[in-house]
A and B are shown apart, each in its own frame.
Chain A
């Protein structure tokens, strides 16, 4: 058991701190996409290796060797100083790693540099009205016509579609193949004729998502990642990246500390909420769960650093446990405030910027999105505990149905 990163990493931590002290004031608040401030901050971070750190220099990155501890120190120090850590989003966090692994030389050269610099914004076209948990049953089709794919169909939950320059999209190219083998991974420009975007207002009353419709959208043949029919494997490579980013225990710890502050300052009948034994016990219960997830994360990190260490199912459970915990934590913030907990938007009595209600609902969204809690439980049971899959329902073939009807 050794929880120290070692002196060379403490020197690195000091370098990050020095950078933040010197340049932190220039960091933009929020992430207004494509603003000059955002893009110049992003470029400064890349030059210093604080974002796009391991992306090769030929594609506009910093070109460092992957080092999980350095990445962790950067994330910790930026979070601690509350300074913008650079752009995220599905293009940077999901598409770029995929292209690095599976893209052609031309695709890497064309897309990675503008994406990491914030000049090219992406959205993700995965889910469809009829393909949610069963994503592989998607029906948006792409048919080859000369040198173009012709795309028809509908996607849903496309966040930032209204702002995106390009989309990475799963389409069915082999309608006769088994469902997991008939999918391809296409990249195309959102200004291509035939794309219609309709905002989808969610329960927070913000339009974080869209419905995106494709009618005879023509996509050049070479804009495919991986081989024809292998899009499912390409997509799975990135879904793992997405799930890793949900339910981050360090952010949960920051919210827990905000909740403790709230309970010390808010009162009911003149008594601070923290003095109420029932509320205090609920807080302590949550604190214990946060602690368990933080130590679980240490174990996951350790197993990535020490190849002889088996993380068992420690990583597989993070999305399920992390999002449920965060939803419960935000819910406690609402419960303890009684009617004040209902405040929303411009209500003058809103506390902490109205974040408790927003986060409470947002995390319910995350419990559902990226693979619902129930799908996560299937994964844990089947891949983690080696329990058998549910037998497939065999649809009668047209022949058998006919015979049955006679």
Chain B
């Protein structure tokens, strides 16, 4: 019995961390936030095989599983990395491999990082005012609010019936409208459809659900990394910042804030590992653990984001330190693919606890 990483997984983690440490410092994140591109970052990760992680070997990929993807996501979150990992390397390959038809050409392009697929699932999770997707004879009309990856070549769209559609980003009748959000490490668009031709790739709700589940676990892993970084920064800052003639890390009020962050975050690590492992290996538990992991990490991420900022005092509130990039990453992971209350309600429904 071993509940932990293999040697290969430790190596994967080390390699990704080293690449991000060397190539994506905070200044690089700021450059993206100011309107720059993430293409070079993604190409660098793709060259390491990260884009191909979940794609089967016979489709040009590496054929690893969700735990490996969670390891990568934790590192991406730790470095608040701008990259289309969630859509292009996780959710799109998962859906394409489970769905009808031959998608080998697209999968091979995803594996090399030369194409990107964005995700517009809001309709099937919790439709907001102003959104509505209507499908008639394989053409879409209406609006998907909040698709992620503004620079995608294709979009995967879910309708209210949990059917999945794939459409070309340059298709006639599709308009992409850039949406400003608080999280500037990711770029978000609204998709407006005016009779856009779209291929239905799945009418099986289980394909949608499996794609959503892995997406949620990967967002939770991203939060795990981002929150761990905020805790590390808080502890390091508290040790060097002096007030009343001593490091503020020696005040119990400050120590207890850090201990509370650590105590609530540490079990999250095991939770993310287990949920990722369960997706492929423990099917009866997979959906429930994915829901709870998404919701629980959202709560702990929120707590750590606030507390770490407070430990930094006034500096935490400034743009100078840049801590807010992590604060906002935790906040955006919380909202995407189902905010905690909605996800917990799904968890209750999965256990037959809703009437």
- Residues of A in contact with B (beta carbons under 8 Å apart): 1-6, 69, 260, 264, 272, 274-275, 277, 280-281, 283-285, 287-289, 291-293, 295-296, 298-299, 301-303, 305-306, 309, 312-314, 317, 320-321, 374, 376-378, 380-382, 384-391
Contacts and interface: CB of A to CB of B under 8 A. Distances in A.
A292 B267 CA distance: 5
B284 interface: no
Interface stretch (B15-23, B51-59, B155-163, B340-348): B340-348
Interface residues of B, number: 49
Contacts, number: 163
13 contacts: A1-B281, A287-B347, A288-B344, A298-B3, A299-B269, A317-B267, A321-B263, A374-B256, A386-B235, A387-B238, A387-B239, A388-B239, A390-B252
B258 interface: yes
B267 A321 contact: yes
B295 interface: yes
Q: Taking each of B4, B6, B259, B347, which has the highest tally of chain A beta carbons within 10 Å of its own beta carbon?
A: B259
B263 A320 contact: yes
A377 B256 contact: yes
Q: Which 4 A-B residue pairs are closest in the complex by CB-CB distance?
A: A381-B255, A295-B270, A377-B259, A302-B3
B355 A291 contact: no
B243 interface: no
Contact of A387 (B4, B258, B345): B258
B2 A302 contact: yes
Interface stretch (B121-129, B146-154, B181-189, B271-279): B271-279
B277 A309 contact: no
Q: For A1, A288, A303, A386, which residue has the most chain B Cβ atoms within 10 angstroms?
A: A288
Given A4-B1, A306-B4, A388-B250, A288 B295 contact: yes
B267 A377 contact: no
Contacts of B341: 281
Interface in B251-298: 251-252, 255-256, 258-260, 262-264, 266-271, 273-274, 277, 281-282, 289, 292-293, 295-296
A301 B3 contact: yes
Contacts of A5: 1
Contacts of A299: 3-4, 269-270, 273
Report whether over half of chain A's contact residues are helix, strand or loop; otherwise say mixed: helix
B353 interface: yes
Q: Which of B4, B289, B344, B345 has the most CB of A within 10 A?
A: B4
Given A1-B4, A1-B6, A1-B273, A388 B259 contact: no
A302 B262 contact: no
A69 B266 CA distance: 23
Q: Which of B1, B238, B295 lies at the interface centre, i.e. has the most chain A CB atoms within 10 A of its CB?
A: B1
Given A1-B67, A284-B295, A6 B1 contact: yes
B247 interface: yes
B270 A387 contact: no
A389 B353 CA distance: 48
B246 interface: yes
Given A3-B282, A287-B347, A298-B274, 4 more contacts: A275-B354, A301-B3, A303-B4, A377-B256
If over half of B's interface residues share one DSSP class (helix, strand or loop), that class is named, otherwise mixed; here it is helix
Which of B2, B67, B268 counts the most A-chain CB atoms under 10 A from its CB? B2
A382 B266 contact: no
Contacts of B259: 320, 376-378, 380-381, 384-385
Interface of B: 1-6, 67, 235, 238-239, 246-247, 249-252, 255-256, 258-260, 262-264, 266-271, 273-274, 277, 281-282, 289, 292-293, 295-296, 299, 341, 344-345, 347-348, 353-355
A283 B345 CA distance: 10
A284 B1 contact: no
A188 B157 CA distance: 75
Most buried by A among B3, B277, B282, B347: B3
A388 B277 contact: no
Contacts of B348: 280, 283-284
A162 to B, nearest CB: 36
Contacts of B296: 288-289, 291-292
A380 B256 CA distance: 9
A5 B267 CA distance: 22
Contacts of A378: 252, 255-256, 259
B271 to A, nearest CB: 4
B24 to A, nearest CB: 25
Contact of A385 (B3, B247, B258): B258
Contact of B268 (A272, A292, A374, A386): A292
A391 B246 contact: yes
Nearest to B256: A377
B347 A377 contact: no
B277 to A, nearest CB: 5
Nearest to A320: B263
Contacts of B239: 387-388
Contacts of B293: 288, 291
B344 A391 contact: no
A313 B266 contact: yes
B191 to A, nearest CB: 31
B250 A387 contact: yes
A380 B274 contact: no
A1 B277 contact: yes
A291 B271 contact: yes
A373 to B, nearest CB: 9
Contacts of A295: 3, 267, 270-271, 273-274
A305 B2 contact: yes
Contact of A291 (B2, B266, B292): B292
Contacts of A289: 296
Nearest to B5: A1
Contact of A314 (B247, B267, B353): B267
B252 A380 contact: no
B13 to A, nearest CB: 13
Contacts of B67: 1
Contacts of B289: 291
Contacts of B268: 292
B255 A281 contact: no
Contacts of B347: 284, 287-288
B271 A281 contact: no
A378 B263 CA distance: 12
B274 A385 contact: no
A287 B343 CA distance: 13
B249 A387 contact: yes
A296 B250 contact: no
Most buried by B among A274, A292, A389: A292
Contacts of A1: 2-6, 67, 273, 277, 281
A313 B271 contact: no
